[in-house]
């Protein structure tokens, strides 16, 4: 019989629970498994809802506040719903000098969203990042796990079309 971990705001699925329990055995300190547990929930749901920290903490045997601290520290753990595809635009000094603003403006115009927002169709979320480590090809951006350099405003539409 499967056991669900449930808090008053959140229910952890059996699949999520099993995966978290499997991961926690790879660490001496259960706190170290909290980032993996958060990634498991995010992979299953697209984001980490409120209450997940309580459920994860219950499995790992640690305070929910410890899990919440990890969740809020890492910018790649999403605490609100995001689009199917995440666009990360580099706003480092190199990308800024290389034309970051015009690329961002093109994305915003085409999607009708600002930084930190999700398109009305739920397809894209646009996020700034400090650096993508692609400074020799500025301006740079990522869509999901794909990195693009030397991005020009007139090439943005073609990039977006590749992500239905």
Q: What is the pLDDT of residues 106-120, one digit of tens each?
A: 999 999 999 999 999
Band of pLDDT at residue 151, cut at 50, 70 and 90: very high
pLDDT at 1: 43
Is CATH 3.40.30.10 what the domain over 85-161 is classified as, yes or no?
Answer: yes
Q: 5-73 has which CATH code?
A: 1.10.10
CB 21 within 8 A of CB 55: no
Provide the CA 153 distance to its chain's centre, in angstroms.
24
Domain segments of the chain: what residues? 5-73, 85-161
Q: What percent of the chain has pLDDT over 70?
A: 95
Q: At residue 43, does pLDDT exceed 70? A: yes
Q: What does the mean pLDDT of the chain come to?
A: 94
């Amino acid at each position: 019989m499967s056991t669900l971990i449930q808090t008053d705001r959140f229910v952890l699925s059996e699949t999520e629970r099993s995966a978290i329990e499997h991961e926690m055995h790879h660490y001496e300190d259960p706190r170290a498994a909290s980032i993996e547990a958060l990634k498991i929930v995010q992979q299953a749901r697209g984001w980490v809802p409120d209450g997940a920290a309580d459920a994860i903490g219950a499995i790992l045997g640690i305070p929910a506040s410890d899990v919440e601290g990890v969740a809020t520290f890492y910018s790649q753990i999403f605490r609100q719903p995001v689009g199917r595809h995440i666009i990360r635009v580099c706003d480092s000094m190199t990308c800024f000098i290389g034309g970051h603003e015009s690329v961002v403006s093109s994305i915003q115009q085409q999607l009708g969203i600002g930084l930190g927002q999700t398109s009305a169709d739920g397809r894209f979320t646009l996020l700034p990042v400090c650096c993508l480590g692609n400074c020799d090809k500025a301006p740079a951006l990522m869509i999901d796990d794909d990195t693009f350099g030397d991005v020009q405003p007139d090439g943005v539409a073609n990039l977006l079309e590749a992500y239905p």
